[in-house]
Amino acid sequence: MSREIIAPLDHTAYLRLALTEARKSPPKATNFCVGAVLVDEERNEVLATGYTLELPGNTHAEQCCLMKFAQTRGVSEDSVGDILPKSTVIYTTMEPCVFRLSGNAPCVDRIIQTQLGGHEGIRIVYLGVKEPEKFVGENEGRSKLQAAGVKSIHVPGLEDEILQVATAGHAKD
């Protein structure tokens, strides 16, 4: 899979790549169309990409990234922290969820789980927008990440475009 080369630490370019993934999400009134990119920041290498509903089971973008990375390395998603490079970060168009109405594990918990067992795991989440309060009320994802030692850093400049893509398929107020 060929990709345009992204300069190291070009957060906007990586977020644009996540937005390209989000555009692949099937529009649905009950989901946000979100994209995510798992990156080895030290090597400036994309490890995996994902988007909402890419994989079976009402999957979210961050979940798809972690599942796909684990699958390509022959481990379970629960063990992905064992194999992530120490400088792994994730870019996501929208703040990771802290609660799932579907009963699936929230994306915040999946990110924090990468640190279990003394692993470095994902220590930085770069995000484009906070999750709108449409489905589960105020998202406390950033607070929970911070409490677990994971930085969440807002990358400004793409908010309007991200929200337009995220809400495709939603009824307009």
- State the catalytic residues: 62
State the Cα–Cα distance between residues 11 and 28, nearest whole angstrom: 28
Per the CB < 8 A criterion, the answer to whether 18 and 25 are in contact is: no
State the Cα–Cα distance between residues 117 and 80, nearest whole angstrom: 11
Token code pair at residue 2: 């060929």
Per the CB < 8 A criterion, the answer to whether 95 and 127 are in contact is: yes
Beta-bridged to residue 51, according to DSSP, are 35
How is 30-69 classified by DSSP, letter by letter?
Answer: TS---EEEEEETTTTEEEEEEETTSSTTT--HHHHHHHHH
Per the CB < 8 A criterion, the answer to whether 108 and 28 are in contact is: no
